[in-house]
């Protein structure tokens, strides 16, 4: 079995295509790193890149991207809807095959150490790599964003980084690096320009406020489209499937006389998550994933090659 790690770095740039081009080229320049996806959002001013690599090369590729981002992105000049604290805002490592979560934790910590020693960018460890329980949640780590962390990091012991001095990089900020299972970035768009409605629905749906387990949510304004969005991270799509979050948002929106006008998946999504959506809405009886043509074909080809 091939050993494969997925890495999904998020960058605080979603408007300048040429910047993301250079970051992506830095990743592709590392032998063994394979780009799977890139997606940018101008309103959020943020990009999500997905690549895979063997464990021995994945940190090299992540650092190559972070180096390019540090040279090209200045957080002092950055504005956007999405919270951010670093030019390379977050680097999660996800075990895909032949790799354990503990090994991804070790990769995250190695990446954090090198991020500081080679690039001078301090690092918080989060999720499974966190050194403190209060740093498992990315939202808690990023609280205050770049400006707030910059003001507190040297005087507030709780804001001290896991790697690096108690100061942010002057233009590249600070980066969160962690290890986690696969998640789905899923957004639901609402037919209103009232961001307060999106915020109220986000509070209703997210687990931290008493909503759905395994859901993190924020409300955003999409100014160029004249609508708002409930933006979610589905951190366990089997525990809380996509359709359950969608249906809850739809019902909450109806309370305000607002319609759902669309939804989107940012980055990649496991096939199993979409199968569950089809099963729910089509009310399929005795449905099995073995009935999916591509699934059966892949299995047959593996048997033929064995």
Task: List the one residue out of 165, 142, 146, 166 whose CA is nearest residue 156.
Answer: 166
Q: Under a CB-based contact definition with an 8 Å cutoff, are residues 75 and 145 in contact?
A: no
Which position among 44, 78, 82, 169 bears the catalytic label? 82
Q: What is 67-78 written as a DSSP string?
A: HHHHHH--GGG-
**Is 44 considered catalytic here?**
no
Burial of 203 (0-12, 13-18, 19+ CB in 10 A): middle
Burial 236-274 (b: 16+ CB within 10 A, else e): ebeebbbebbbebbbebbeeeebebeebeebbebeeebe
Q: How far apart are CA 207 and CA 205, in angstroms?
A: 7
Catalytic residue ranges: 82
């Amino acid at each position: 079995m091939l050993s494969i790690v997925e890495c999904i770095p998020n960058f605080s740039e979603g408007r300048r295509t040429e910047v993301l081009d250079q970051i992506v080229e830095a990743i592709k320049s590392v032998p063994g790193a394979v780009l799977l996806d890139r997606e940018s959002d101008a309103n959020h001013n943020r990009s999500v890149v997905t690549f895979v690599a063997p464990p021995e090369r994945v940190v090299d590729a992540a650092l190559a991207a972070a180096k390019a981002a540090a040279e090209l992105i200045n957080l002092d000049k950055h504005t956007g809807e999405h919270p951010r604290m670093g030019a390379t805002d977050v680097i999660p490592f996800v075990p895909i095959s032949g790799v354990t979560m503990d090994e991804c934790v070790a990769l995250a910590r190695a990446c954090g150490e090198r991020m500081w020693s080679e690039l001078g960018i301090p690092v918080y460890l989060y999720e499974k790599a966190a050194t403190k329980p209060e740093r498992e949640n990315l939202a808690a780590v990023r609280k205050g964003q770049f400006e707030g962390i910059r003001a507190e990091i040297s005087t507030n012991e709780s804001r001290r980084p896991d790697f690096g001095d108690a100061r942010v990089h002057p233009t590249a900020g600070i980066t969160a690096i962690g290890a986690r299972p696969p998640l789905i970035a899923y957004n639901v768009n609402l037919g209103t320009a009232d961001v307060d409605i999106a915020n109220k629905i986000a509070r209703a749906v997210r687990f931290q406020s008493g909503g759905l387990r395994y859901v993190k949510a924020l409300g955003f304004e999409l100014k160029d489209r004249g609508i708002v969005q409930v933006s979610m991270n589905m951190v366990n799509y089997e525990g809380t499937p996509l359709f359950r979050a969608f249906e809850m948002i739809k019902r909450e929106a109806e309370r305000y006389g607002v319609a759902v006008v669309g939804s989107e998946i940012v980055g990649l999504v496991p096939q199993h998550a979409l199968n569950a959506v089809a099963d729910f809405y089509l009310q399929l009886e005795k449905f099995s994933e073995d009935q999916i043509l591509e699934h059966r074909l892949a299995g047959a080809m593996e048997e033929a090659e064995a």
